[in-house]
Amino acid sequence: MTVNADTLLKTDLALGFVPDVSGFVLVDPSTDPLGPGDPNLQDLTTNPLLTERYDDLKVQAIINEIHGQASHLSPDITNPQVPAIFGMNFQAVSVAQKYFAGGITPLSDGSTNPSLVLEAAIQHTDASIGQMVSALHQTGLWNSTEIFVTAKHGQTPRVGVGGLMADSTLPNLLGSAGTPVAFAVQDDVSLIYLTDQSQTQQATQTLQTFKNTGSIDVYYQGQLVVVPASKIINQILSGPNLVKANLGNAATDSTTPDIIVTLNPGFIWVGHPLKFTNKRAEHGGFSADDTHVALIVSGGALPKNVQGKTVGAPVTTTQIAVTVLDSLGLDPNQLTGARIEKTKVLPGLNLPAGQSSSPAAAALATFGNPIQVGNGPEISGGIAGQTGSAPVTGNRDSRPVVIDGPSTVRGTKSSTMVLLARKKTGTAAVDALFAAGDFEEF
């Protein structure tokens, strides 16, 4: 198909109309008859509508597995086997958060509003979760199933448009100072590996001087603004400071960067700032927007006495694996990481080893003090209303939101994603909370 879906999305969906992308076929570029340079190829990760099509493939794979088949349709399977643990990730909400007409927009009265693009991606993800829940009911598996909805990261900035900067800035600076960079990974953080590790202290000092006295070209959807480096760079970590931050020891571990440069929320490194006007947010760093995510637990296997509860104890997403294994009657201490880090099951779920047959319920494991929000639902992978820093425990944490009833889960996902789960049926209490804006966000 020769019509560019990205153009369709810019001209139609941003105005409230959903274009038809049914003529597109998802392909592996390496198998395209015209090769990866085929002008008709559209990168689905820059288009929420095509990303939804990609998500649909994974949803169907899960539904097939719920019915005891392989991830693809498998009519030859005569003895269906359902996996004990299975799942997938959604990408559409993440792409919609990053999209030029997506994300969450600050309004003049101080409130915020999800874009039409983001709302559409959320609705599609919601419907997809509903399909999986329906399949579990149809196959009689609901009462023996736990569902965990979370995200491996958030996005920054959560609200508004990020400033794009050339990712060659710091490597070029260090190279000019005689401390060349061998390799760097950069999004809203810089992970820097030097050619000569013995130059780490010199390179760190170069970066510190640049932070104090330099400036960086920042592009906001194509508009150039020169910003002092001190307003962009947050921390420069190397040597003992990396160890103290539990980020590794570059002297003994080759996978640990020699230097990590964290950024203040709202700034993103990209290859060519003027070619990435679609990217309004990114992830990869350690800010609250990056690390505070939703964590929602639902399913018919949850005991009745945890229905609709919010648990205020600190949690991390690493506890999900331990909780799942414990529920299956397996020993979580067989996981090396769980044993070393002494990871515990999620609190407040009261899940015995093996599955419960209790009615459908919903529960939340959440982190920190709730943030009160007064104007309707906002969906993102960060924290709503966040001003300044917030505590972070482990690799990812979450904040509270109220859930009620045996529904598709209402939460968020980011590219995680945030995953928004809203009601299918029987959750009028949640709708009332969201309509009134009387809820807590994460």
DSSP string, 238-285: ETHHHHHTTS--TTT-TTS-SEEEEE-TTEEEES-GGG-TT---B--S
For residue 419, what pLDDT is reported? 23
Length of the chain in terms of residues written: 442
| Cα separation, 107 vs 110, whole angstroms | 6
| Band (353; pLDDT cuts 50, 70, 90) | low
Would you say residue 308 has pLDDT above 70? yes
Supply angle C-alpha 9, 10, 13, rounded to 5: 50
Residue 10 sits at φ, ψ, to 5 deg, of: -65, -40
User: At a CB cut-off of 8 Å and minimum separation 6, what does 81 contact?
Assistant: 68
Residue 15 sits at φ, ψ, to 5 deg, of: -100, 0
Mean pLDDT of the chain: 76
Average pLDDT for residues 412-436, to the nearest whole number? 29
Cβ atoms of 441 and 385 within 8 Å: the answer is yes
| Cα separation, 127 vs 144, whole angstroms | 22
Would you say residue 413 has pLDDT above 80? no
What pLDDT, in 10s, does the model give residues 163-219?
999 999 999 999 999 999 999 999 999 999 999 999 999 999 999 999 999 999 999
Q: Which of 59-63, 274-278, 301-305, 346-350 has the highest mean pLDDT?
A: 59-63
For residue 173, what pLDDT is reported? 98
For residue 72, what pLDDT is reported? 83
Number of separate helices (H) and strands (E) present in the chain: 11, 18
Q: Is the peptide bond before 240 cis (omega within 30 degrees of 0)?
A: no
What pLDDT, in 10s, does the model give residues 95-119?
888 888 888 888 889 898 888 888 8
What pLDDT, in 10s, does the model give residues 3-34?
455 555 555 555 555 567 777 788 877 888 88
To the nearest 5 percent, what fractions of the chain are helix, strand and coil? 30, 20, 50
For 323-336, give one letter per residue: b (16+ CB within 10 A) or e. Answer: bbbbbeeeebeebe
For residue 116, what pLDDT is reported? 86
Cβ atoms within 10 Å of 167's Cβ, excluding its own: 19
Q: Which of 224-228, 381-385, 423-427 has the highest mean pLDDT?
A: 224-228
| Cα separation, 213 vs 163, whole angstroms | 20
For residue 178, what pLDDT is reported? 97
For residue 433, what pLDDT is reported? 28
Radius of gyration over every alpha carbon of the chain, rounded to an integer in angstroms: 23
- 180: amino acid identity, one letter: P
Supply angle C-alpha 186, 343, 248, rounded to 5: 35
- CA atoms in the 13 A half-sphere facing the CB of 321: 13
| Among 165, 140, 16, 172, residue whose Cα is nearest residue 68 | 140
Q: Cα(first)–Cα(last) distance of the chain, in Å?
A: 41
| Cα separation, 119 vs 129, whole angstroms | 15
| Band (43; pLDDT cuts 50, 70, 90) | confident
For residue 399, what pLDDT is reported? 32
Q: Which of 48-57, 203-212, 324-333 has the highest mean pLDDT?
A: 203-212
Task: Please provide the DSSP assignment of 101-146 as one string.
Answer: T-SEEE-TTS-EEE-HHHHHHHHHHHHHHHHHHHHHHHTT-GGG--
For residue 7, what pLDDT is reported? 56
| Among 281, 419, 437, residue whose Cα is nearest residue 371 | 437
What pLDDT, in 10s, does the model give residues 365-378?
322 222 222 222 22
Supply angle C-alpha 201, 395, 339, rounded to 5: 105
Question: Range with the lowest mean pLDDT among 104-118, 246-260, 333-347, 397-411?
Answer: 397-411
